[in-house]
């Protein structure tokens, strides 16, 4: 299978590479505890976990953080071009991605309560 002229890894697995209990502990942990939890995992498992988390908008930053614990070659073997991109992102200062909207964060709030009725 090819994407834009590059070969995708044959064994790219989209399932979570760690037990859900472990994933929950990592998700709830602070920065120091994350390093300790993922440090106990083999590097290939860490790379697969980084790719898994990176692919979900609510765990994107956690995936990048875990990718920072992996070598470029391991991320590339696990996820091909995505692994290369994830490695590069993990070596840069973190910034939030601009998802869908060009409006500034200080735009008007939207009320779901409906219109106010005047009596």
Question: Each residue of 51-92: pLDDT tens digit?
Answer: 999 989 889 899 999 999 999 999 999 999 999 999 999 999
The answer to whether residue 36 is domain-embedded is yes
The answer to whether residue 66 is domain-embedded is yes
What is the total count of domains within the chain? 1
The span from the CA of 75 to the CA of 32, in Å, is: 22
Intra-chain end-to-end CA distance of the chain, in Å: 65
Choose from 6-10, 91-95, 107-111 the range with maximum mean pLDDT. Answer: 91-95
Conformation bin of residue 110: beta by default, left when phi > 0, alpha when psi is -120 to 50: beta
Top-confidence residue, 94 or 25? 25
Kindly state the average pLDDT of the residues 36-61. Answer: 93
The answer to whether residue 12 is domain-embedded is no
Query: pLDDT exceeding 70 applies to what percent of the chain?
Result: 66
The answer to whether residue 118 is domain-embedded is no
Confidence at residue 93, expressed as pLDDT on a 0 to 100 scale: 81
Task: Name the residue range of residue 33's domain.
Answer: 29-95
């Amino acid at each position: 299978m090819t994407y834009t002229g590059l070969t995708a890894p044959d064994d790219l697995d989209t399932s979570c590479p760690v037990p859900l209990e472990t994933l929950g502990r990592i998700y709830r942990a602070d920065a120091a505890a994350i390093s300790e939890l993922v440090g106990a995992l083999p590097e290939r498992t860490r790379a697969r976990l980084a790719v898994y988390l990176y692919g979900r908008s609510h765990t994107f930053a956690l995936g990048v953080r875990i990718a920072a614990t992996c070598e470029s070659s391991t991320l590339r073997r696990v996820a091909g071009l995505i692994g290369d991109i994830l490695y590069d992102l993990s070596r840069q200062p973190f910034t939030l991605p601009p998802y869908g909207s060009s409006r500034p964060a200080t735009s008007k709030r939207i009320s779901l309560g409906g219109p106010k009725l005047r009596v």
